Amino acid sequence: KAGVTQTPRYLIKTRGQQVTLSCSPISGHRSVSWYQQTPGQGLQFLFEYFSETQRNKGNFPGRFSGRQFSNSRSEMNVSTLELGDSALYLCASSAASGSLLYFGPGTRLTVT
């Protein structure tokens, strides 16, 4: 079974721009979660989507948003990028909310 895929794998953006990251979960998985990983803060939960509904949200500003489509694929968007948004953004899928999480390879975002 194919794993979680994320596109693009690497991205360089300028401060003030916006960015959209994409995630395709494992086939049959209906829950998608997003995490931000930085050297200083480690892995932090952004939000979770299940059946196209946001189920849970972490402590991030409103510039961070996401959505899930009917085929369970998910996107996250970051608007008005700041230098501190440079991070590895990880998508994880699970069969159901609260089930085991399986992570994708991540998208490395660099904001200059």
Q: What is the contact surface with another protein in residues (CB under 8 A)?
A: 4, 31, 33, 35, 42-45, 48, 50, 55-56, 58, 90, 92, 94, 97-106, 108
Least separation, in Å, of the C-beta of 106 and another protein? Answer: 5
- Cβ closest to another protein, residue 50 vs residue 80: 50
Identify whether the C-beta of residue 97 lies closer than 8 Å to the C-beta of residue 36.
no
DSSP state at residue 9 = S
Please report how close the Cβ of residue 93 comes to another protein at its closest, in angstroms. 9
User: Closest Cα to residue 107, out of 59, 62, 74, 71?
Assistant: 74
